[in-house]
Amino acid sequence: MQKLTRSLFALGVLAGLAACGDDVSVTEPPPVVPAVTGISVTPGSATLIKGQTAQLSAVVTANDPSVATTVTWASSNAAVATVSATGLVTAVAPGAATVTATSTANANFKAGAQITVTGSGIRSVRVSPDNAIVPTGSTLQLVANVDADAGVARTVTWTSTNTAVATVSATGVVTGVSAGTTTIVAASTVDASVTGAAAITVRNPVPASISISSITFGTLQTPVNVNNVFGQFEVTLNVDPGDQGVTKVEVLVDGVVACFQNFTVSRSEELALSHVFENVQAAPVTCSINSALFDAATGAASYFNGVRQISARAITPAGTQVVTPSQALTFNNVSGVVLTVTNDNGTDAKVGVNPATGLSWIGGSITVKAVGVSYVQGVSIATVTLDNGNTADGLFFLGKTTAQTITLTATTNGGSTGSKTYAETGTWSATDSDAGNYMTNSIINLPGVPNVLGEAPVVFGTVLSDNQTGPTNTLNFPANALGNATIPPLAVVRVDNTAPGVASANGVAQTAITLGAALIWFNATSSFALLSTSTNPLGAPALSVLNANTVGVDIEEGVDVISLSVYVTAAGVALPTASACDLTGLTLVTTGSQLTETTVSTAFSFRLVFKDALGNQTCIDVATTAGADFTAPTGTVTGPAANTGYNALPPNFAVTASDNASGFTATPLRVTMNRLNITNTTSCIINTGGTCTGGSTAAQPLTFNSTGGTGVDGYYTTSITLVDQAGNTTVLLTNQLYSQDIVAPLFSGGISLPALIAGAATNVFTASVTDNLDLGSIFGVVDYPLADIRYPTQTIGSFGPPLEQSATVNYSVANWIRCINAAGSFATASGQPTTITLTVTDQTTIAQNTTSLTSGAFGANAQTCTGSVGNIAAADILSFTQSAPNYGTGNTQVDIDGATLATGSSTTVTLSAVADVALNSSADPFTRVDFYYTSGTTLIKIGTAAAVLAQTQTNRTYTYTLVWDPDAAVPVGAVSVVAIGVDAQGDGVLTGTQTVTTVP
């Protein structure tokens, strides 16, 4: 009512305005729009595999609760993905599509989701088997193999295209309904378009059948003579499992199973398919029957001779038996005897092979068993007589020259067995029943087998139970007559029950084992094993001697491949005497370390056990006792020192030695000495400790000639090892090198001078030198009017190889002094040198080999002096003093090189020279001051001193100080010492001399 009142009021106002005559415009209000403010879809995107679904949801927001929030769904590409009215998306095919939700209240509001569809991930479906025959009412399990990506379901759905023929369960089990054909399809549950199929034929069951196709023998499948069958033959069968299937086929002799074959399912199916499809081939079904089969233990024949009925039958999975008609065969096998040989050798090997001859031997107690096999029902073999058949050739059957009879005991089935045992113990004779202690090269020989040794076969005969003579020499029968795989064929059997080195009781001689001299001391590493080619330390012969069988001459050596076991008593205990091979209380030892170290050589007694490969053994006691010494000896060597040269035959080597127990023989040294000759070849002088070829091989006494008395020049390399009687060693000297050289070196030609022999420079003098062995060094002595100066030694070659036998030497003299003036004298052109004498040495150091050569006069080659010492006014421009403790001897006394400090002497002496010049004179007049001691008329340099300046108001004083420790080359006694000051031009001036007394 209020809304109507308001409307009438508004109309009245409008009418009033119009009546006033004014123009009035009326504007209609805008249409009312539903207040939708937004829309969203979740999820905003999705990736699906073909066939998968995804649920989308849309949310519509509005500012008026009365506004509808529903949406409509649409797909931009229904071929890729479809969407239901509720937003359920279904992936149809690979590709991309947008699924859009539109507000029903306001179509201007939309939201979408991006849908990507990928392949199903299913590549293929295969059904196995892919074709099959199913009998009516039977079932067959099919299997679907799905090839798919990881994570994709591999399940399938099964369908039959003709359920009237066959149905299929959800698990793939096919059931035959009626005769006909159908296809069983397996479709992927992920992608139903991917399928696999199996072709199924349903038919009414075909019964199994079996028949004998052929009966043959031999590899050529020769048909048997049905009236004369012997040995092994083959029965080939035709088998059709039909639809029943076959699990087993059997071949029967007189209704008893003789052989059979079990069939697998696949084998049965293979045979069934081969009967249906021409292109399917199946392997034939054959059964092997041995008509001569017998019991190996009793000799009872499985089948007697005569007519036998052969039949076959097939057995189905249900247990039904399908049997063929029988076929008659007449068995006709030869009765005979089977001999077997067994031996009991206790814990020792039963069989051994002689490596020299390749022949096999057996040992221990021997049993020969005879099994009689009779195929005549009611008749058995009663006895077997074994005879060598030829006693003249010296061959024995089990050590017997007489025939041996084995009585056989009849069994219930016509066969018979018996045996004869030949014991290892007992004394052998030609008539007793024991083989005893024997060795023979032939006890049983398989007839018809060639024998390169000419061994005679065993001849034997048989007697049947009806006293008729039976077969002979049918040992193990021909293969086609007996063919029993359980009885191994016998070849030649040789028996060895004779100990090594012992004559056989049947007259076969062997070389006795005798011991030689044994060592009386052993060390920790001593081995008691037999040696291949040399005598064992305990005196046993070498293996090569023990096993020296003469092939082709005496084959009755058995298997004497000897091993040695060594047994020892406790220290100080005697060997047991109850039996030659009594080992009671003895210890098996293999090395010396198992003994206890002793200080006497009578501690241990040894029993040696020699055993062949079959365990036959001989025991021998070592006549001497022995001790054990594990401590190495000590020793020192006197003789040539290392790296020392000689120019005459060097003194002999001498060794001072001591040992804790075993001591030494007269020759305890193992020495290796080689000589490098002047021809650069090597000679072996002594080789008792090395591998050089030639020379003395004898061990050396404690004092031995170091060069073997040859006196030949060369380099000698020596190694010395000290060995005690137990074999413990100490290396005293290793590859010590020294030389013997009695020939002095030579100059070849003269000395070449430099064009200008300049002062304060390096001047080079050239000469060619040679030596028979090895050059050493060279030095020069320059002749000055006031004194001769020896310039430094220059090395040509080093001690030892390689040999420096010739050289062109450029002898260099640095800091050349071009003239020497007397003290206070600077006369121009005075004191110039005149010649140089070069002296070359070889590598000898004792009574050294030297050769000297003097050059021609220097003459114009020598640079003249200038007297450029400056304005020194004093008469003695260079004074010389010495200082050291003075013990009242009148002169300073100093020992040589501080080796032995003599009473009243010092180890060093201080030498000083002083230059005193006016203050206004030039600087230090000398670039250096050299100190020399005199040896004869030659000055030999001690060293160079630098100046220390002291200055007064009128003078400069330069003091040159040198501390001297005389070495061994300095003469013993009063030695003159002098100094020479040398200026920048190489001019020198002498000081006065001082005397230094040297003591050793």
- Give the pLDDT confidence score for residue 882 in this predicted structure: 52
Average of per-residue pLDDT across 336-345 = 78
Specify the 3-state DSSP secondary structure of 284: coil
Q: Any residues with CB less than 8 A from the CB of 936 and at least 6 apart, and which?
A: none
Q: pLDDT grade, residue 31 (50/70/90)? A: low
More confident residue, 118 or 56: 56
pLDDT at 301: 87
pLDDT digits (tens, 9 = 90+) for 274-285: 776 666 667 789
- Residues near 665 by Cβ (< 8 Å), separated by ≥ 6? 699, 725
Measured in degrees and rounded to the nearest 5, phi and psi for residue 610 equal -95, 125
More confident residue, 592 or 123: 592
Sign of the torsion angle spanned by Cα atoms 301, 305, 309, 312: positive
Q: Which residue has the tokens 């003091």?
A: 959
Higher pLDDT, 14 or 596: 596
Confidence grade of residue 656 (pLDDT, cut at 50, 70, 90): very high
**Residue 483, number of CB atoms within 10 A of its CB:** 17
pLDDT for 424 beyond 50: yes
- The fraction of the chain above a pLDDT of 70, given in percent, is 80
Lowest-confidence segment of 134-143, 187-196, 831-840, 859-868 by average pLDDT: 859-868
Output the pLDDT for position 401: 57
Residue 890's pLDDT is what? Answer: 46
Predicted local distance difference test score (pLDDT) of residue 352: 86
pLDDT above 80: residue 779:
yes
Of 817, 797, 801, nearest to 809 by C-alpha is: 797
pLDDT at residue 296 greater than cutoff 70 = yes
- What one-character-per-residue DSSP string does 26-82 give? -PPPPPP---EEEEEEESSEEEEETT-EEE-EEEEEESSTTS---EEEEES-TTTEE
**C-alpha angle 814-818-820 in degrees, rounded to nearest 5:** 115
Mean pLDDT of 921-939: 84
The 10 Å CB-count burial string (b at 16+, else e) for 851-867 is: bebebeebeebbbebbb
Pick from 876, 884, 837: which is nearest to 981 by CA? 876
Q: In this model, does residue 857 exceed pLDDT 60? A: yes
- What residues pair up with 955 in beta bridges, in sequence order? 918
pLDDT value of position 553: 45
Three-state secondary-structure class, residue 591: strand
Residue 371 three-state SS: strand
Measuring CA to CA, how many Å separate 550 from each of 202, 545, 639, 664, 694? 82, 11, 54, 41, 35
Q: What is residue 469's predicted lDDT score, i.e. its pLDDT?
A: 56
Query: Residue 653 belongs to what H/E stretch?
Result: strand 653-658
H or E element at residue 6: helix 2-19
Write out pLDDT tens, residues 37-53: 889 999 999 988 887 89
Lowest mean pLDDT among 262-266, 352-356, 832-836: 352-356
Work out the pLDDT band at 28, boundaries 50, 70, 90.
low
Mean pLDDT of the region 840-847: 88
Q: Give the pLDDT confidence score for residue 387 in this predicted structure.
A: 62
Indicate whether 421 pLDDT > 70.
Answer: yes
* Residue of 560 and 197 predicted with greater confidence: 197
Please give the Cα distance from 925 to 920 (Å, whole number): 13
What is residue 271's three-state secondary structure?
helix
**Distances from the Cα of 377 to the Cαs of 292, 373, 380, 412, 471, in angstroms?**
13, 11, 8, 10, 16
Supply φ then ψ for residue 53, to 5 degrees. -125, 160
Cβ neighbours, 10 Å, residue 920: 9
**What does the pLDDT read at residue 990?**
83
pLDDT one-digit tens code per residue, 212-242: 999 998 877 899 999 999 888 999 998 888 7
- Which of 502 and 519 is assigned the larger pLDDT? 519
Least confident of 153-157, 687-691, 784-788: 687-691
Chain centre distance of CA 115: 65
- Calculate mean pLDDT across residues 554-574: 84
Bigger pLDDT: 14 or 789?
Answer: 789
pLDDT given at position 782? 97
What six digits make up the tokens of 301?
């024949």
Candidates 261, 239, 230, 256; CA nearest to 309 is 256
Q: Give 458-508 pLDDT, tens digit per residue.
A: 555 555 555 555 554 444 333 333 334 333 444 556 778 888 888 776 566
SS (H, E, C) 740-798: ECCCCCEECCCCECCCCECCCCCEEEEEEEECCCCEEEEEEEEECCCCEEECCCEECCC
Task: Work out the pLDDT band at 695, boundaries 50, 70, 90.
Answer: confident
Cβ pair 127, 197 in contact under 8 A: yes
Residue 248's pLDDT band (cuts 50, 70, 90): very high
Query: Which residues, 6+ apart, have CB-to-CB distance to 69 below 8 Å?
Result: 59, 60, 61, 62, 103, 105
- C-alpha distances in Å from residue 625, one per residue of 230, 540, 589, 600, 708: 72, 15, 15, 10, 37
Average pLDDT over residues 917-944: 83
What average pLDDT does this structure show over 745-770?
95
d(CA 237, CA 250): 10
| pLDDT tens string 876-897 | 344 555 554 443 344 567 778 7
Scan for tokens 């020497």, then name that residue: 820
Q: What is the model's pLDDT at position 887?
A: 34
pLDDT at 892: 63
Mean pLDDT, rounded, of the chain: 81
**pLDDT higher than 60, residue 826:** no
When pLDDT is cut at 50, 70 and 90, the band that residue 443 belongs to is: very low
Tell me which of 424 and 436 has the higher pLDDT. Answer: 424
Instruction: Give the mean pLDDT of 915-924.
Output: 70
Per-residue DSSP letters for 402-431? S-EEEEPEE-TTS-EEEEEEE-SSS---SS
pLDDT at 752 over 90: yes
- Give the list of residues 6+ apart from residue 865 with CB closer than 8 angstroms, or none: 759, 818, 819, 821, 828, 829, 830, 831, 832, 987
Residues in the chain: 1000
Instruction: List, in sequence order, every residue forming a beta bridge with 405; answer none if it has no partner.
Output: 385
Q: Is the pLDDT of residue 440 over 60?
A: no
Residue 813 pLDDT > 80: yes
Is the pLDDT at 920 greater than 70? The verdict is no
The residue among 900 and 349 whose pLDDT is bigger is: 349
Residue 6 in this model has a pLDDT that exceeds 50 = no
d(CA 979, CA 947): 13
Q: What is the pLDDT of residues 955-978, one digit of tens each?
A: 888 888 888 888 888 888 888 888
Q: What sections of 91-185 are H helices per DSSP?
A: none
More confident residue, 78 or 245: 78
